Every structure is written in structure tokens, then in C-alpha cells.
Amino acid sequence: MKKLVLTGAAGRLGSYLREPLSKLCNELVSSDIVAHTGSLYDGERYVQADLADLAAIEALTEGADMIVHFGAIGDEAEFDAILQSNIVGAYNIWEAAHRNNVRRVVYASSIHAVGMYPKNEYIGTDVPHRPDTYYGLAKCFAEDLARMYWEKRGIEAVCLRILSCAKVSNARAVGSWLSYDDLVQLVTRSIDTPITGFTIAYGVSNNDRTPVDTSSASFLGYRPNDNAEQFAAEMFAQDGPLDPSDAGHMCHGGPFASVPLGKSGQAALKIEDDRKKN
Ligand SMILES: NC(=O)c1ccc[n+]([C@@H]2O[C@H](COP(=O)([O-])OP(=O)(O)OC[C@H]3O[C@@H](n4cnc5c(N)ncnc54)[C@H](O)[C@@H]3O)[C@@H](O)[C@H]2O)c1
């Protein structure tokens, strides 16, 4: 592959993807809204760009074979902020992909597109969208946009509904954990699978308590290696008894299912910023 574009490169997940992605192509163009990402890996170039700026995204993706689109506000926020970065940003990525004849977009969707389903419903990727926040609603928009650009314009898309990609720090994550190694495997398989069409897959490790049907990722060759069961006793003791009448405990979206619209869902998760240093 000649050129791969990674958005959200300065983010936590981007920090784990940059090095392996740089090995899959002649040139990795890493991009984010911030000024820089620190030192670069071999074959990597950095371009600062705002996802809400179509001209900038069109220039960024010129000549790209594929786009790995991870840039977004990664939390619930006021609607106008989500509108610019996550909704207009997604439109700009797919529209730029169309104008530049990009073959495929690998997209960081989220469990929050279906976050209001109760956790004791084992859901597949075929259930109707049921977002828990404006953030989740934007993921629904991007998945529908991706399907439409596949059906009308032939751009392949792999939408990865990531559950919780962070160090395990709460009882929910015992089911929802996606380790960084498994994230890298899932994104790599989404790129190197010769044909994907439009695909939605859940992004989660091989946890004993995985609450979603991961079978749609099978044809990608994704075989997760990590299992959060090793953290179960510690996390269940730490969090104590959970209230089944609290949507934040009972639903797939976790705290995003119970926070007021526009207010942070991440705040309750105490996620450690353990981004990879280079
Ligand atoms: N971490 C998780 O558990 C998880 C779960 C589900 C989905 N996701 C998705 O994965 C992606 C990466 O998540 P993360 O945890 O690394 O989040 P993060 O906040 O660490 O990274 C997101 C990056 O996007 C950039 N960004 C935001 N608005 C932008 C804009 N207008 N233009 C350009 N860049 C912009 C930010 O600067 C940031 O560096 C996001 O799309 C997020 O929604 C993450």
C-alpha cells in the first residue's frame, strides 16, 4: 500500500496505531487538530487538519489507498461540538474519500451507537441503532453515511464498534475491554482483508463476559487474544453491588446511558491517559 491516512493520530488510540500502521504502507500520514504528535516513526508524516474543514481533509487524503478514521470528540459533549468534529467531520472524510478515489475507510464507531440496549440482551450488529448520547448519535450517522457511500459510491467501510479500549478500571470493562494489542490486530485485519464491502464489527477482546455478538468480525480473521476475566474479582470487589434500576449499570453504554445529554460520560469511568510514547 502506498499511502495510509490516520486521523485522531494524537489521541490515545492513535498513539497505539501509528507504529504498526506505519509498517503497512510506504507513507503513513498521521493527522489531528493539535499542532504535532511528537517524534515520528519511519515512513510517517504529520499533517495538522481540522476534520470540520472539507478542503483540508480533501488535501490530506489525496492519493490515499485507505483512511483509518479515529479523529473525533471521544466523549459526550454539547451538540454543536459533536456536530462539527464528529458529524460534519465524518461527512468530510467520506466525501473526500469519494473525490480522491480512496478504496476503504476503517472507522472507529462505538458501542454508544447502541448504548441504550440492556446488557442482558446479547446484541448483534443487526439491531437498530439505539444511541445513548449525542456522541453515540454521531456514530449512528457515520455508520449510515458509510453504508450509503458504499451502496451509492462503492467506498468500502469497516465500522468498528469499539466497546472500552483502555486499562480495565471498573466492573463494566470486565465484559467490554478491548486491549491495545487486540485493537491493533482488529485495525490491521480491517486493512489487510482483501475485500470487506460495508461491514460493522464489535471491537472487544476475548472476554469471558463479552456482552455482544462478535461473529461479524470473523471473516476479517480477527482472533482476539486477551481476556479481562483476570481482573474480574478485583473490579467486582472495587465497585460493590450495582443497581439494576440504574441505566448506567444496566445498559451496554455504561455511564453514557445515564448521563444527561451534553455532559461527559467519560468522567465516571476514571480512564487513565496511558497513551503510548514514541
Ligand atoms: N477509547 C475507547 O474506548 C473508544 C471506544 C469507542 C470508540 N472510540 C473512538 O475511537 C476514536 C479514538 O478514541 P480515543 O480514545 O483515542 O480518543 P482521543 O480523544 O484520545 O482521540 C481523539 C483525537 O481526535 C482529535 N480530534 C477531535 N476533534 C477533531 C477535529 N475537529 N479535527 C481533527 N482532530 C480532532 C483529538 O484532538 C484527539 O487527538 C474516537 O473516534 C472515539 O470515538 C474510542
On whether the CB atoms of residues 143 and 109 are closer than 8 A, the answer is: yes
Q: Can you tell me the distance from the alpha carbon of 21 to that of 33, in angstroms, rounded to the nearest whole number?
A: 19
Q: What is the pLDDT of residue 278?
A: 83
Q: What is the pLDDT of residue 36?
A: 84
Residue 278 domain-assigned (yes or no)? no
Which residues, 6 or more positions from 123, have their beta carbon under 8 angstroms from its beta carbon?
114, 117, 211, 212, 213, 252
Show the ligand 1 pocket: residues with CB < 6 angstroms.
Answer: 8, 10-14, 32-34, 50-52, 70-74, 85, 89, 108, 110, 162, 164-166
For 10-61, the pLDDT digits (tens) are: 999 999 999 999 999 999 999 999 998 889 999 999 999 999 999 999 999 9
% of the chain residues with pLDDT over 90? 96
On whether the CB atoms of residues 109 and 160 are closer than 8 A, the answer is: yes
On whether the CB atoms of residues 70 and 11 are closer than 8 A, the answer is: yes
For 133-189, the pLDDT digits (tens) are: 999 999 999 999 999 999 999 999 999 999 999 999 999 999 999 999 999 999 999
Question: What is the atom index within ligand 1 of the atom nearest the CA of 69?
Answer: 41
Q: Is 186 exposed, middle or buried (0-12, 13-18, 19+ CB in 10 A)?
A: buried
Q: Look at strands 104-110 and 66-69 and give their pairing.
A: parallel
CA–chain centroid gap for 92, Å, is 17
Residue 276 domain-assigned (yes or no)? no
Domain carrying residue 45: 3-269
Residue 277 domain-assigned (yes or no)? no
Dist. CA 267 → ligand 1 center (Å): 15
Sign, CA torsion 114/117/119/125: negative
Residue 153 domain-assigned (yes or no)? yes
Residue 129 domain-assigned (yes or no)? yes
Q: What is the CATH number of the domain that holds 43?
A: 3.40.50.720
Dist. CA 10 → ligand 1 center (Å): 9
Residue 275 domain-assigned (yes or no)? no
The number of distinct structural domains making up the chain is 1
Q: Look at strands 27-32 and 44-48 and give their pairing.
A: parallel
Residue 243's CB is within 10 A of a number of other CB atoms, namely: 9
177 has which bridge partners? 164
On whether the CB atoms of residues 3 and 30 are closer than 8 A, the answer is: no
Residue 121 domain-assigned (yes or no)? yes
Q: Can you tell me the distance from the alpha carbon of 271 to that of 256, in angstroms, rounded to the nearest whole number?
A: 14
Q: Which residues of 145-184 are buried (b: 16+ CB within 10 A; e: fewer)?
A: bbbebbeeeebbbbbbbbbbbbebbbbbbbbbbbbbebbb
Residue 250 domain-assigned (yes or no)? yes
